[in-house]
Amino acid sequence: MTTTTDEPLLELSQVSFRRDGKVILDEVSMAVRPGEQWALLGPNGAGKSTILSLCGAVSHPTSGTVRVLGETLGRVELQALRRLIGHVNPRHPLDSPLTVREVVLTGFAGTVALPPRWRASEEQVAKAAVLLDLLGLGRIAEERWPTLSQGERGRALIARALVNDPQLLLLDEPSTGLDLAAREQLLTTLDELTRIRPRLATVVVTHHLEELPRTTSHALLIARGAVVAAGEIDRAITTATVSRAFELPIEVERQGGRWSARAVTADVRRPGPPDAGDYATAG
């Protein structure tokens, strides 16, 4: 389940998805190639989570074709395919108080908790240690999950997603619950990851432009289940496309590689010639 240099790692072709008769996605297409860093943007309810579930080989489309790592969904054993995809979910459903190291090791087993009779090999333990150091977590490797900050949990889940050397990394709103400092640290980590693993492709889901890493190269902007714009980020993310997707006049800016957006409101009173009242005096 590998792809050649010229093949997309992920390809959605005219994909539609319906649930209980309701159209969730309507003929969505995108192609993600090695080394590309994609943003999946849109308002709440736009269909972002559904697209990510297709990318992660969790759901099947109602119509259209989804190819992941060279395999077509519906013609491949999904569990084996999922293990080749890194998936970061900040709402990781962990109930037991595992250590940071143990959480990372669960990535090898493909489970939330450590299986009862499963033991990590020396090679796996060493690899986990390297990733923990890489993500700045080596000093807290033995800390328990419930004691971690949201930022530390996010970086631990990225390490967990990387243990099997995936070609594709999916991040589902990774900045959820982070304060400003933790968010900036996470974004710096993602930028550094691009440098360290230049062939790794990522798809980051968010509805905030401020949460995009500087290295984001492409974007898919979606609204009401349909594609508004897709492609290289400077063409896909503009004042016009974002305003159309969110159905609100929004001004988009990019400075120093980081994006920002603000709603455009009409002035209560625009500058103009003064009227007589401006010169009225008491008396």
pLDDT given for residue 96 in this prediction: 79
What is the mean pLDDT for each group of 10 consecutive residues in the chain (283 residues)? 70 92 92 95 90 89 92 83 85 84 89 83 92 91 91 90 92 87 89 90 92 94 94 94 93 91 68 46 37
pLDDT given for residue 21 in this prediction: 83
pLDDT given for residue 5 in this prediction: 62
- Of 29, 25, 36, the closest CA to residue 3 belongs to 36
Q: Taking the model in full, what pTM does it have?
A: 0.85
pLDDT given for residue 150 in this prediction: 86
pLDDT given for residue 283 in this prediction: 35
Domain boundaries, the chain: 1-84+166-183+194-238, 95-165
Question: Residue 170's beta-bridge partner residues?
Answer: 87, 203
8/6 Cα distance (integer angstroms): 7
- Looking at CATH, the fold of the domain delimited by 1-84+166-183+194-238 is given as Rossmann fold (3.40.50)
For 73-81, the CB contacts below 8 A with 24+ separation are 76/1, 79/110, 80/1, 81/1, 81/57
pLDDT given for residue 134 in this prediction: 87
Q: How far is CA 84 from CA 23, 33, 91, 228, 259, in A?
A: 29, 16, 21, 30, 31
209/154 Cα distance (integer angstroms): 19
Q: Is 263 helix (H, G, I), strand (E, B) or coil?
A: strand
